[in-house]
Amino acid sequence: MTTASPTLPLPSSGPPAPPLERARLPPRELVGVALQGLRTRKLRAALSALGIAIGIGAMVAVVGVSASAQANLLAEIDALGTNLLTVSPGQNFLGQNEVLPDTSVPMIGHMHDVLSDVAIYQLSQNVYRTPFVPSEQTGGIGVDAAGDNLPQVVGTTLASGHFLDSVSARFPEAVLGAQAASILQISQVGGHLMVYLGNRWFTVVGILKPVVLDSSLDSTVFISLPVAERLFQTQPNPSEIYVRANQNDVIGVSNLLAPTADPENSSGVDVTRPSDALAARAAAKGQFTTLLLGLGAVALLVGAIGIANIMVISVLERRGEIGLRRALGATRGHITAQFLAESALLAAIGGVAGLALGAGATEIYAVSRHEPFVVPTYALIAAPAAGFVIGALAGLYPAMKAARLSPTEALRA
Amino acid sequence: MSIRLDHVVKEYPGGVTALRDVTVEVPDGDQVAVVGPSGSGKTTMLTILGTLERPTSGSVHVADQDVGAASDQRLAGLRAHQIGFVFQSFHLQEAMTAVDNVATGMLYTGAPLRRRREAARAALERVGLGHRLEFRPRQLSGGERQRVAIARAFAKRPRIILADEPTGNLDTKSGGEVIDLLVELGTDGATLMLITHDPGIAGRFGRQLHMRDGEIVADERT
């Protein structure tokens, strides 16, 4: 038996140490390790992914429902035609109202690529149900003279009766806009239904359906231009000209309308495309409801905290595994990466489930409302990606905690 | 020289001195038993040799690498390629089959899964578990589990095997078989250092280090 000698002759400089092989964990193996970790705790993984799924599902549903509603509105607008243009007098730089010259209607009618057009002429008259209604109770109803192709050009039909025709050009007949009819409490044409207009009785021959592209026409009563000229000596300056342009050259026609309507003063002419305003409104309507999105975000936050919680518990429970992996050659970085990958994958799976949930909710909504089913394509990538990022963030602290564990203590556990 | 400790001291926070002044050399291929009462510093010495902990002072060379100067990454690389551990409580992963447990032992070498599985199968055949490849740890007896753990330690052909009471949880018969296996595999050239309480087991090793109170009190060669 020999006792250990206190010192051994240790050469201070020996041969150079052989090159040391590195510890490696290729990305594919990392994913395998993370999936293995999730597979061994399926129920727990599913429950913690559920939090993320609900949050992302809520957000996808909000986005999907509003996209479906928007698609529906745009489809309606498309059906009405996006080739309707309106020409109206603008204001000069002093703020005074301009006047469209009486030549503007025939000039526009002769334009290339104008399919149809119709002018309306605002009359300073009021309409009442009877002469006994106080004169100031106009109900906000305007009176316009109109060409007889107005419904076709603005894209509406009659709810009842017929529009102004050749008879109306000679006799006092009136057609009511949808809202005007409801204010006057007339729902159907029949018998000798009359309204009192400009101190005269007019026979109501028709009621229009709402005009989606220009709702100002709904609160108007229309009479024919010849009758208006004869009875009210109206000036022949149109207050609005509706133009249907060739669908292939709406912009071109739109650009030429002002100089054609008033060659001397084209800046005094306003040209608008009503479908643009509606499309803009549809887009605004399609914007996500901020409150609902906020709720989704709260659900996501709760889900993320749930994942962080589970991962912290997981790290404590798996101290033995962490110690073993360190003994097998894992660096601190490998341990961090393993737990980050687990948490990110878990939440990404939650994101995919949330996408399915949200799409399902959107589908139910769209079917029940007879609207098209739309989930924006970006959601297909954004939902799992959002889950992945949230999971990585939630896993950051537990993963660092795992990497900081002393391997010997972990092995003793 | 596969292991060289020079005046190694290890103190833990709170004033506990686990190793006082340990100096020892183990040449390549040696088989060494470490014996001593509980708390004598055996396990601490093993974890320092296994580069899982750094000494408070003194120098440590393992597989020709200066452990004190090496980064966490280099030490991990050393463990991944050159050091195999065998633990008293096996540390097998319950969710994995025997083959996958052994293959995981080579995970951090960066070898592809197919190669690791091949090596794992060969190692399991070598420890006599060729018929248990797809068994999970809970389907195996204690002795079989420790043999899986031994296969995991040897499969990557490390230079050094460190075993901390590998028979502590086993009955005498399967404990004896495990020691037989370790000694036999050690003849392939790996340096083997084994902690044990059992003088009978220690007696089977050509060299015995006796420890007490953080010091090596005797270095016996038989």
Between chains, do B23 and A407 touch, taking CB under 8 Å as contact?
A: no
Q: Which residue of B has its CA nearest to A15?
A: B64
pLDDT at position A8, please? Answer: 38
Give contacts of A333 with chain B, Cβ < 8 Å: 73
**Inter-chain residue contact B23 with A4, CB threshold 8 Å:** yes
Q: Tell me, rounded to whole angstroms, the distance of Cα A163 from its chain centroid.
A: 36
Within 8 A of A320 by CB-CB distance, chain B residues are: 91
So what's the pLDDT on residue A290?
76
| Of B166, B209, B171, nearest in space to B186 by CA | B166
pLDDT under 70: residue ranges of chain A? 1-20, 236, 282, 285-288, 413
* Chain A environment of B113 (Cβ under 8 Å): 29, 32
Q: Which residue has the tokens 């602290």?
A: A397
Looking at residue A232, its pLDDT comes to 85
Residue A5 touches partner B, C-beta closer than 8 Å: yes
Residue A280, pLDDT score: 75
Per-residue pLDDT, averaged over B108-126, amounts to: 94
Banded model confidence at residue B46, pLDDT cuts 50, 70, 90: very high
Q: Does residue B197 surpass a pLDDT of 50?
A: yes
* Residue A336 contacts B, CB cutoff 8 Å: no
C-alpha–C-alpha distance, residues A47 and A49, integer Å: 5
Q: Over pLDDT 70: what percentage of chain B?
A: 100
> How many contacts, defined by CB atoms under 8 Å, are there between A and B?
127
Q: How far apart are CA A180 and CA A220, in angstroms?
A: 6
Six-digit token string for A347: 């939440």
Name which of B47, B93, B220 is nearest A408 (Cβ-Cβ). Answer: B47
Cβ separation of B66 and A17 shorter than 8 Å? yes
* Inter-chain touch B23–A26, beta carbons under 8 Å: no
- Any bridge partners for residue A335, and if so which? none
CB contact under 8 A, A329 and B81: yes
pLDDT at A285: 65
| CA atoms of B162 and A204, how far apart (whole Å) | 105
Rounded mean pLDDT of chain B? 93
A90-96 — which CB contacts under 8 Å span 24+ positions? A90/A267, A90/A268, A90/A269, A90/A270, A91/A268, A92/A267, A92/A268
A 10 A CB-CB count for A35 gives 13
Buried-exposed string A140-171: b where 16+ CB fall within 10 A, e elsewhere: ebbbbbbbbebbebbbbeebbbebbeeebeee
Rounded CA-CA distance A24/A22 in Å is 6
For residue A404, the chain B residue with the least C-alpha distance is B72
What are the beta bridge partners of residue B161?
B84, B192
Q: Is B21 on the interface with A (CB under 8 A)?
A: yes
For position B84, what pLDDT does the model report? 95
| Test mutation, A331, A334, A405, chain B, max B CBs within 10 A | A331
Judge: B79–A328 Cβ closer than 8 Å, yes or no.
yes
| Cα–Cα distance for residue pair B97/B80, rounded to 1 Å | 21
Contact with chain B for residue A39, Cβ under 8 A: yes
Q: Is B158 left (phi over 0), alpha (psi -120 to 50) or beta?
A: beta
Q: List pLDDT tens digits, range A33-77.
A: 999 999 988 999 999 999 999 999 999 998 888 888 888 877 877
> For residue B123, is pLDDT > 90?
yes
Say whether A25 and B108 touch across the interface (CB within 8 A): yes
Instruction: Provide the pLDDT for residue A208.
Output: 94
pLDDT at residue number B107: 95
Whether residue A411 and residue B74 make contact (CB cut-off 8 A), yes or no, is: no
Would the pLDDT of B24 be above 70?
Answer: yes
Cα separation values, A52 from A43, A222, A293, Å: 15, 58, 14
Identify whether the C-beta of residue A64 lies closer than 8 Å to the C-beta of residue A379: yes
**The pair of three-digit structure tokens given for residue A125, joined into one six-digit string:** 């008259």
Q: Which residues of A touch B52 (CB under 8 A)?
A: 326-327, 407-408, 411
Q: Give the C-alpha distances (Å, rounded to integers) separating A351 from A26, A149, A295, A343, A375.
A: 25, 55, 16, 12, 15
**Residue A188: predicted pLDDT:** 87
Residue A19: per-residue pLDDT: 57
Output the pLDDT for position A1.
42
DSSP structure class, residue B14: T
pLDDT of A293: 81
Using the Cβ of B220 and the Cβ atoms of chain A, whether some distance falls under 8 Å is answered with yes
CA–CA separation, B195 and A183 (whole Å)? 100
Angstrom distance (rounded) from CA A172 to CA A155? 25
CA distance B173 to chain A (A): 25
Return the H-helix or E-strand segment holding B172: helix B172-186
